[in-house]
C-alpha cells in the first residue's frame, strides 16, 4: 500500500515532459531532508489549499474512524498507526508534485504556452493547486453529504473524488478531450498514455504480485486491470471478477463475517490451527488493534520457520499475491513461488 501511494506521481508527470524533469530533480534532491523540508515549507507558505488537503478518501475514512474511537477510549487505535507510512508516502508525493508544477509554470515557456500561463507567481500557484487536485487524491469523506457516505451502493456512486476517478477524468479531459480540441499533438498523446497508463500499470502489477510479470499474459492483465479500474460503476465489478472475488463484495463487514465463519468452521472440524488466522482477523476487525499487514507478516514468519516456504517476500506479501495474482492457466491454479 505504501508503494502504491507513489503511483499517483505518474499522473502528475504525464501532464507535460517538463513536469517530469522537475519531478525527477526534486525526487533526487529530496534524499537530503533539508531540501525536502524546504519544498514542503514553500508549498505550505504559498498554498493554503494544500494545507487543508486530505489524502485518499478510503484512508481518510479509516483515519477519522480511528480518531473518533480514540476520543471515546482515550487511546490511539493501531489501525491509525498502521496508516503512518501511507500518510508519509502520500504527503511526500504531493509535496514533490506541487513543487514540480509550480517550477514548471514559472520557468518553462512550453508549459506556459500549453496551459496559457503568464509566468507570474500568482498564476504558477493557481496552476500547481489545480493540477495537483486533478492528479492527486483530494477528497475527504467528511466533505460529502451524509447520503453519499451511507451504504456500499451510495459509496460506489460517489467515488468521483478518489484517485481512480482522477485517472478517468485525466483520460477523458486531458488526453481525449484536449486532442479532439486540437490543444495537444499526437506526440503529447503518446507521452501522456505512456506515463498515465503503461508505466504505472506495470509498476502497479509488480507491486501487487511481488515481482515482474512472468509472461505477456501477466503484462496484458496488468494493463487491463489498471485501465478498467476507473470505469464508473462497472470498473470495480470488472476488476473484482478478474481477480477472482465473486460478486465484487470486498466491504469490511463482508470480510468480518467471512472470517467469523471460517473460524467457527475450523473449530467444528477439529482444525484449531486453521482457526487461528481467521480468529485473529476477526479480532482485528472488531477492535482495530491488529493491522492486516501485521497478520500477513506473521503468517509469512510462521511459514518460513516451519519450512512451508523460503521466499522472504512472504514477510510482506500474502501467498495469494505471490501465486494467484493474474490470469492463471486452466491447468495451473497459480504461479509457483520463487524459491530463494
Residue spans per domain, the chain = 1-143, 146-250, 251-324
DSSP notation for 177-227: IHHHTT-S-HHHHHHHHIIIIIHHHHHHHHHHHTSS-SSHHHHHHHHHHHH
Q: What is the DSSP string of 43-60?
A: HHHH-HHHHT----HHHH
User: Burial letters for 160-188: b for 16+ Cβ neighbours within 10 Å, e otherwise?
Assistant: ebbbbbbbbebbeebbeeeeeeeebeeeb
pLDDT over threshold 60, residue 101: yes
At residue 88, the pLDDT reads 80
Which residue do the cell numbers 498514455 mark?
Answer: 193
pLDDT higher than 90, residue 326: no
171 secondary structure, DSSP code: I
* Greater model confidence, 238 or 66: 238
pLDDT digits (tens, 9 = 90+) for 25-64: 999 999 999 999 999 999 999 998 887 766 544 455 555 5
With CA atoms as reference, report the closest residue to 266 among 279, 285, 254.
279
pLDDT digit string (tens) for 169-227? 888 889 999 999 999 999 999 999 999 999 999 998 888 887 888 888 889 988 988 88
* Separation CA 114–CA 98 (nearest Å): 18
Phi (first) and psi of residue 328, to 5 degrees? -70, 150
Res 304 pLDDT > 70: yes
Q: What is the model's pTM?
A: 0.67
The alpha carbon of 236 is separated from its chain's Cα centroid by a whole number of angstroms, namely 14
| 84-107 vs 121-135: helix crossing angle, rounded to 10 | 140
Tens digit of pLDDT for each residue in 214-264?
888 889 988 988 888 777 667 767 776 777 665 444 444 455 566 667 777
Please state which of the ranges 100-104, 114-118, 251-255 shows the lowest mean pLDDT: 251-255
The C-alpha atoms of residue 32 and residue 182 are separated, in whole angstroms, by: 42
For the chain, the average pLDDT equals 75
Amino acid at each position: 500500500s505504501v508503494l502504491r501511494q507513489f503511483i499517483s506521481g505518474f499522473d502528475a508527470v504525464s501532464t507535460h515532459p517538463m513536469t517530469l524533469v522537475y519531478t525527477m530533480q526534486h525526487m533526487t534532491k529530496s534524499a537530503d531532508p533539508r531540501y525536502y523540508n524546504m519544498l514542503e515549507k514553500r508549498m505550505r507558505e504559498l498554498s493554503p489549499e494544500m494545507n487543508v488537503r486530505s489524502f485518499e478518501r478510503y484512508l481518510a475514512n479509516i483515519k477519522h474512524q480511528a480518531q473518533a474511537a480514540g476520543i471515546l477510549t482515550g487511546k490511539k487505535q493501531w489501525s491509525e498507526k498502521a496508516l503512518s507510512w501511507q500518510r508519509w508516502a502520500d504527503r511526500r508525493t504531493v509535496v514533490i508534485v506541487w513543487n514540480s508544477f509550480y517550477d514548471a509554470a514559472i520557468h518553462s515557456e512550453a508549459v506556459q504556452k500549453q496551459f496559457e500561463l503568464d509566468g507570474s507567481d500568482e498564476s504558477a500557484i493557481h496552476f500547481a493547486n489545480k493540477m495537483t487536485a486533478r492528479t492527486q487524491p483530494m477528497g475527504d469523506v467528511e466533505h460529502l453529504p451524509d447520503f453519499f457516505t451511507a451504504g456500499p451502493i451510495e459509496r460506489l456512486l460517489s467515488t468521483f473524488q478518489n484517485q481512480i476517478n482522477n485517472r478517468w477524468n485525466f483520460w477523458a479531459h486531458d488526453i481525449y478531450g484536449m486532442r479532439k480540441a486540437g490543444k495537444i499533438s499526437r506526440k503529447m498523446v503518446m507521452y501522456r498514455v505512456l506515463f498515465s497508463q503503461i508505466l504505472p500499470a506495470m509498476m502497479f502489477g509488480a507491486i501487487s504480485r511481488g515481482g515482474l510479470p512472468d509472461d505477456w499474459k501477466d503484462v496484458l492483465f496488468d494493463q487491463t486491470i489498471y485501465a478498467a479500474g476507473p470505469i464508473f460503476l462497472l470498473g470495480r465489478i470488472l476488476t473484482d471478477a478478474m481477480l477472482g472475488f465473486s460478486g465484487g463484495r470486498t466491504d469490511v463487514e463482508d470480510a468480518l463475517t467471512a472470517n467469523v465463519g471460517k473460524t467457527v468452521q475450523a473449530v467444528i472440524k477439529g482444525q484449531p490451527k486453521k482457526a487461528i488466522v481467521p480468529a485473529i482477523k476477526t479480532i482485528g476487525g472488531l477492535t482495530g488493534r491488529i493491522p492486516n499487514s501485521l497478520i500477513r507478516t506473521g503468517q509469512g514468519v510462521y511459514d518460513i520457520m516451519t519450512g512451508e516456504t523460503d521466499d522472504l517476500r512472504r514477510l510482506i506479501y500474502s501467498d495469494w499475491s505471490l501465486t494467484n495474482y493474474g490470469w492463471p492457466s486452466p491447468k495451473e491454479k497459480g504461479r509457483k513461488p520463487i524459491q530463494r
